[in-house]
Structure 1
Amino acid sequence: MAIVRHGRGPAAAARAYASQVHPVFMLPPVATALVGAALAGDFDPVVALVYAAAAFFAVYTAHVKDGYVDFHRRGEDDDHPMTERGCRLGLAGATAGFLACLTALVLVSTPLAVALAAPMWLIGYLHAPQFDTNPVTTTLGYPVGIALCLIGGYAAQTGSLAVAPLALALVLVVTLAGVKIVDDTQDYDYDRSIGKRTVAVAVGPERARRLALAALGTGLFAVVPLTLSGVLPPSAPAASLAFGAVGAVAVRKDATTATMLLVRGAYLFLAGLLVAVFFRPLAGAGVSLPDVTALGPYTYLATEALFAAAAATLLVHAGRAALWRAARTVAAVYPIAYLWDWYTLEVGVFSIPMRTGIEVLAIPLEEHLFMIVVPALVLGIHETVNPRPGELKADRDSDTVDGTEGANREPDTTEL
């Protein structure tokens, strides 16, 4: 009985099985397993490669099983290189490879590494049709597998776990869950038609996108408190900045383009965390926080100018309607903030030493600006993460009408 659907002979079979190696999804687990080993410091390369190979065979199992279910069982895919028998043989081979790695880990590593490696194959095998029909498991399967690669790679070297790899694993789970939710929105219509319960199908594409942004933001920001508490080195937030820049571009793109950008951003994120934790570029360099108090009495004003620029940028980008909404809200909040600020200063709740000393209506000048800048920044972020496409289109249409094109158009008799 044939094992491939296109061609004959060993070469055709080799091409068919090689087609199940998808670098976009294969490289991160393998690389993450090696990152976990690197986090341990001086590591045994043989042990690291064995654990990375286990990760490879687990993901290969997932790809073969997914292709088998989607083409031969669901009819979801248009084509597949292997017959049903070929898929079963592929699964058997991948499982044998994984068991060989597991046996090698028993011999060269620790029971903890074996215990962390075993679930990777289980996640891969149950990816379809068990896990990919539930919003939670279809979203968290791959991220949890990545986390097991990281902490397992570390445990294979040390025989124990530590705060840093566990913290990084948690950050990756949350961040990659956001990427996976965006990825699944690409197939919303088809998944809904066959009853496949992704997050997008369960809550709708718009809510799914907002949930994905929340997960991405939480994961990226989590690096900051972990750095401030000493769990991660000082350079770790640079990884979040790199991924955050990609995410800022992806947030307003369609699902396909956003997924492409976010997957590549995740590579940058992982690479940045690796450099920060393993190489520690700022360690011992005497790097400290910038001392903005060097600006003397203008320190507070300088920080307000910085955040005011950020707020203005966000609101202008969100459109004129968002800008006017923010202005009205700030105006409504201002009297309450003024009274609150005056009272707390009057009773001595806090003091502001680095200020100009100029007072307007019984409170410092800087506090008046603070009461405008802070709500404006909050509203700018709100409008950015909750875009209103109809308003952006209306702004563009208005610009067209008010510009050169509008000046040269023929008058509409219905307007006269």
Structure 2
Amino acid sequence: MAVARHGSGPTATLRAFASQVHPVFMLPPLAASLFGASLAGESLGGGFDVRVALVHAAAMFFAVYTAHVKDGYVDFYGRGEDDDHPMTERGCRLGLVGAGVGFLACLLWLLAAAGPLAALVTLPTWFVGFLHAPQLDTNPVTTTLGYPTGIALCVLGGYVAQTGLVAPEPLALACVFLVTLAGVKVVDDSQDYAYDTSIGKRTVAVALGRSRARTLAYGIIGAGLFSVVPLAVVGVVPPSAPAASLVYAAVVALAYPADAETATMLLIRGAYLFLAGLLVATFFRPLADVGLPNVTALGPYTYLATEVAFGTAALALLAREGRDALWRAARTIAVLYPVAYVWDWYTLEVGVFSIPMRTGVELLGIPLEEHVFMVVVPALVLGIHETLNGSSETS
């Protein structure tokens, strides 16, 4: 029996098997695997076993290939969702067997060369791929977390295959990718909202609706990107790692107003920039010898200068939303101000905190800077709120 549904002969067969290699979804796992290996190389003093890295990446290839073949087989022959498929049923089965054999060969090689822990971390990736359809893609949680979990395992597995150990840095970065890509996956799934709704497929977009799913997706992405900051603060990742989050955040800002298809394209390609930024940060550590900027060089005007900076940002956000946003913010701050004043005066009076880097100018019993603070902080909060919700509330 033939392998290809369209055409015959070796060329058609090869084309049918190659059709299940989708670069957009295939390259990230391979890149994540090599990224994990590079983390091990950095921790081992700059060198790592290339053979182990390539075999682990090959295992990831076979795991993802399994997912693609199984997904296509189920969608076309099982569910009747797809209009066409390049492989026959026999071809799909051969593809699954071939990918399974390839994965098993890589797994056994890793077991012998890298140890049982490497094999143990690598093994679940095949199950994630094989069970993607029809088991894991039928409810919002597993539909969303399947692919991101695979990427996280790629990062961690690439490291463990090199070292035989689990370390905080690769584990933390694997979790960063798990969270961030979960948000991307929600955006991606929302492209098929109408069709998924018609067949009862429960993605996050179907369960929550497109608007709420979109809000949740970008909230998850934001949480993933921000998580790099506290990880850098506590020393789990290098100080320069948050710069990678800033690069990806710029891409997210471009994707946010776009439709689901365009947003997905931007977010997936931006993930490569995020990965590259983290690679540079963790391997080369460009800011290793650079301390934090010393804003206290402004002396007694330090606190006031920071308030001016954040106050300018708050005003820009509110002005961008228009006069109504400015007026709403002014009313809210006016009502909040007396409460904040009494609270601030009391905490200073009883010695809860002190403000050494200030001008020394006092007004109505509290420092001048505190009066500004009680305006700037709520204005910034309201500016962000208006930016996120102003347009939707107006419409």
- TM-score for the superposition, normalised by structure 2: 0.95
Cα offset for 1:357?
Answer: 2.2
1:208 and 2:213 matched: yes
Cα offset for 1:319?
Answer: 4.2
Q: Which residue of 1 aligns with 2:336?
A: 333
| Equivalent residue for 1:227, pick from 209, 232, 239 | 232
Q: Which residue of 2 aligns with 1:180?
A: 185
Q: Which residue of 2 aligns with 1:133?
A: 138
State the distance in 2 between where 1:208 and 1:52 align: 33
Q: Counterpart of 1:110 in structure 2: which amino acid?
A: G
Report matched runs for 1:313-328 at 5 Å. 313-328=316-331
| Equivalent residue for 2:90, pick from 77, 85, 88 | 85
Cα offset for 1:173?
Answer: 0.6
| Equivalent residue for 1:295, pick from 288, 294, 298 | 298
Q: Which residue of 1 aligns with 2:314?
A: 311
Report matched runs for 1:28-47 at 5 Å. 28-41=28-41, 42-47=47-52
Q: Which residue of 2 aligns with 1:354?
A: 357
State the distance in 2 between where 1:110 and 1:116 align: 11
| Equivalent residue for 1:72, pick from 66, 77, 83 | 77
State the distance in 2 between where 1:261 and 1:222 align: 21
Aligned length: 390
Higher mean alpha-carbon deviation, 187-196 vs 7-16, is at 7-16
Cα offset for 1:149?
Answer: 0.7
Q: Which residue of 2 aligns with 1:197?
A: 202
| Equivalent residue for 1:343, pick from 334, 341, 346 | 346
1:118 and 2:123 matched: yes
After superposition, the Cα gap between the structure-2 partners of 1:320 and 1:132, relative to the gap in structure 1 and judged at 3 Å, is farther
Cα offset for 1:106?
Answer: 2.0
| Equivalent residue for 2:263, pick from 255, 258, 264 | 258
After superposition, the Cα gap between the structure-2 partners of 1:325 and 1:75, relative to the gap in structure 1 and judged at 3 Å, is farther
Q: Counterpart of 2:178 in structure 1: which amino acid?
A: V
Higher mean alpha-carbon deviation, 347-356 vs 381-390, is at 381-390
Q: Which residue of 2 aligns with 1:145?
A: 150
After superposition, the Cα gap between the structure-2 partners of 1:44 and 1:202, relative to the gap in structure 1 and judged at 3 Å, is same
**In the alignment, is the contact (CA less than 8 A) between 2:3 and 2:16 conserved in 1?**
no
Q: Which residue of 2 aligns with 1:408?
A: none
State the distance in 1 between where 2:131 and 2:381 align: 43
Cα offset for 1:157?
Answer: 1.0
Q: Which residue of 2 aligns with 1:371?
A: 374
State the distance in 1 between where 2:192 and 2:331 align: 40
Cα offset for 1:24?
Answer: 1.2
State the distance in 1 between where 2:303 and 2:362 align: 14
State the distance in 1 between where 2:28 and 2:324 align: 42
State the distance in 2 between where 1:319 and 1:194 align: 43
Q: Counterpart of 1:82 in structure 2: which amino acid?
A: M
State the distance in 1 between where 2:364 and 2:164 align: 65
Cα offset for 1:387?
Answer: 4.9
State the distance in 2 between where 1:146 and 1:319 align: 42
Q: Counterpart of 2:185 in structure 1: which amino acid?
A: K
| Equivalent residue for 1:280, pick from 285, 302, 317 | 285
**In the alignment, is the contact (CA less than 8 A) between 2:30 and 2:61 conserved in 1?**
yes
State the distance in 2 between where 1:84 and 1:220 align: 42
After superposition, the Cα gap between the structure-2 partners of 1:316 and 1:20, relative to the gap in structure 1 and judged at 3 Å, is farther
Q: CA RMSD in A?
A: 1.5
Cα offset for 1:324?
Answer: 2.8
Q: Counterpart of 2:5 in structure 1: which amino acid?
A: R
Q: Counterpart of 1:339 in structure 2: which amino acid?
A: V
SS in 2 for 1:328: helix
Q: Which residue of 2 aligns with 1:269?
A: 274
Q: Which residue of 1 aligns with 2:44?
A: none
- TM-score for the superposition, normalised by structure 1: 0.90
Q: Counterpart of 1:109 in structure 2: which amino acid?
A: A
Q: Which residue of 2 aligns with 1:411?
A: none
1:21 and 2:21 matched: yes
SS in 2 for 1:234: coil
Cα offset for 1:390?
Answer: 6.2
1:155 and 2:164 matched: no
Cα offset for 1:348?
Answer: 2.2
Cα offset for 1:316?
Answer: 2.9
**In the alignment, is the contact (CA less than 8 A) between 1:210 and 1:385 conserved in 2?**
no
Cα offset for 1:312?
Answer: 2.1
**In the alignment, is the contact (CA less than 8 A) between 1:71 and 1:79 conserved in 2?**
yes
Higher mean alpha-carbon deviation, 339-348 vs 287-296, is at 339-348
Cα offset for 1:385?
Answer: 3.2
Higher mean alpha-carbon deviation, 321-330 vs 19-28, is at 321-330
**In the alignment, is the contact (CA less than 8 A) between 1:140 and 1:173 conserved in 2?**
yes
Instruction: Report percent identity of matched pairs.
Output: 72
Structure 2 residues without counterparts, runs of 5 or longer? 42-46
1:249 and 2:254 matched: yes
State the distance in 1 between where 2:357 and 2:131 align: 60
State the distance in 2 between where 1:173 and 1:144 align: 6
